[in-house]
Amino acid sequence: MMSGTSMAAPHIAGIAALIKQKHPHWSPAAIKSALLTTSTKLDRAGRPLQAQQYSDTEAMKLVAATPFDYGSGHVNPRSALDPGLIFDAGYEDYIGFLCTTPGIDVHEIRNYTNTPCNYTMGHPSNFNTPSITISHLVKTQTVTRTVTNVAEEETYVITARMQPAVAIEANPPAMTLRPGASRKFTVSLTVRSVTGAYSFGEILMKGSRGHQVRIPVVAMGYWR
| pLDDT tens sequence across 3-62 | 667 788 899 999 999 999 999 999 999 999 999 999 999 998 999 999 888 887 878 889
- Give the C-alpha separation, 214 to 38, whole Å: 7
pLDDT at 55: 81
Is the per-residue pLDDT at 116 higher than 90?
A: no
Share of the chain above pLDDT 70, in %: 98
Is the per-residue pLDDT at 2 higher than 70?
A: no
Please write the tens of the pLDDT for every residue from 151-175: 999 999 999 999 999 999 999 999 9
Is the per-residue pLDDT at 218 higher than 90?
A: yes
**74 SS3 class:** strand
- Give the C-alpha separation, 209 to 154, whole Å: 6
pLDDT at 29: 97
- Give the C-alpha separation, 135 to 137, whole Å: 6
161 neighbors 205 (Cβ within 8 angstroms): no
Is the per-residue pLDDT at 194 higher than 90?
A: yes
